[in-house]
Amino acid sequence: MIPRAALAGFCMGFALGAASAPALAQFRFDLNRIIDTARQIGQASTEVDEPQEVEIGKQYAAVLLGAAPLVPDPELQRYVNALGRWLAQHAERPGLAWQFGVLDSDNLNAFATPGGFVLITRGLLARMRSEAELAGVLAHEIGHVVKKHHLNAIRKGAGMQAGANILGEFVAQRGRNPEVTSRLVSGMKEVMLRGLDKDDELEADRMGVVIAARSGYDPYGLPSVLQTLSAMNPQDSGLALLFATHPVPADRLDALDAAMGTRLERYSAAARSSEEFLRVVRRK
Amino acid sequence: MKGRLLVLLFACTAGLAAAQEAGYAVRQAELKREPFSDAASAGTLPERAEVKIVSRQGGWLRIESASGAGWVRMLSIRTGSAEGAGGDSGIKQLFNVARSGSSGTVVATGVRGLDREQIANAQPNAAELSRMAQFAASQADAERFASRAGLAAQALDYLPAAQAAGDQ
């Protein structure tokens, strides 16, 4: 992380010993660039610890909530939290303070943010036939959190408005510098609008079906939702952002098809819907 | 006016329901009399056969087709039309039109919340974030939920990314 002093010392010695004045100016310019690059590489690889990750995730969730508020229905919000928390206990980070929410939007989409915040839209929930479908979608999002896919995506934003060093700066400033926080927020927006790596989406799909099965659900809920999306008119404005940021549903189904085969078939007779789903979700 | 709106809403919903019922086989698949792998055969669905999805149960779809009716594995079926599927035309081309949003072209959208523009312009909403925290469930809440719903936890490993399904 700190080759900076050593690098500077080495270069200084070399420069003082051998360079003419114009060459020295040029060299100083290059030196600054080298130091800057070394600093960025150092920061980009800085590990974000869990409290910092949660702080980043809160900022991220607040932006989504700024675009659409929660559905004003405490019973629905508590239901999704209980289900989501149960699912999260069957993945690798059960200790996070997981929070789930239903956004008041007709659009069809679901989001995860670092640190364990998961949001799903009212529009997507309205198309679901069963609790197993809801479990599948939430479990897919939990997969993103477990694998820290969003942090990786923010890091990879180098060269765009959001630089690779934003995470590092945010961590270094402990979120206290408003300018750094604002740059982090635009980095998050880039990821929300650009989407994650295709392979990360497919990995979250494979994790989602397994987390659902571990939690006692029929694992075919997620592919069932993908079939719903696949059957919809892709020009539907409610799908625009989802389709702009994810592989097409047919490709996701092909990948799940290949990965699942018949391996999860024995769990297919597990729970699909609860009385609570029918009462809390279906009555809407 | 209100009546007309209701009729329109109904028409949209009915249209969606009808669209969800159509699909096609991505491979030759066996039709079963019951939604189980060891159930008696009810015939064979040829590749690309068009089907109408009647109902769902776990990983199985109950379908009707020119080749007969019965239960078929969900992942042997893709929803939508077989015309133009696979290859670069048809359905996927339509998706690509929708995807052009990712290159910065704004896709025509209504005001629905959480569109590209609304996210781009969103200001962090700290009040709503605090409200979200109020609904959080504890691990004990989750256990109670699972117990009410009769959920039985299972132990299984994640699936590797597969090139091909082993036992189709």
Is residue B166 left, alpha or beta, with left meaning phi > 0 and alpha meaning psi from -120 to 50?
alpha
**A82/B139 touch (CB, cutoff 8 Å), yes or no:** no
| Ranges A31-35, A147-151, A206-210, B93-97: which has the least confidence | B93-97
Give the pLDDT confidence of A215-225 residue by residue, as tens digits: 999 999 999 99
For residue B19, pLDDT over 70 is answered with no
Domain ranges of chain A: 1-45, 50-152+193-281
Chain B contact for A268 (CB, 8 A cutoff) = yes
Q: Which of B101, B112, B122 sits opposite A66 (nearest CB)?
A: B122
Q: Please list every residue in chain B whose beta carbon sits closer than 8 Å to the beta carbon of residue A129.
A: 56
Give the pLDDT confidence of A246-278 residue by residue, as tens digits: 999 999 999 999 999 999 999 998 878 888 999
Chain B contact for A93 (CB, 8 A cutoff) = no
In percent, the amount of chain A with pLDDT more than 70 equals 80
Residue with the larger pLDDT of the pair B103 and A4: A4
For residue A10, pLDDT over 50 is answered with no
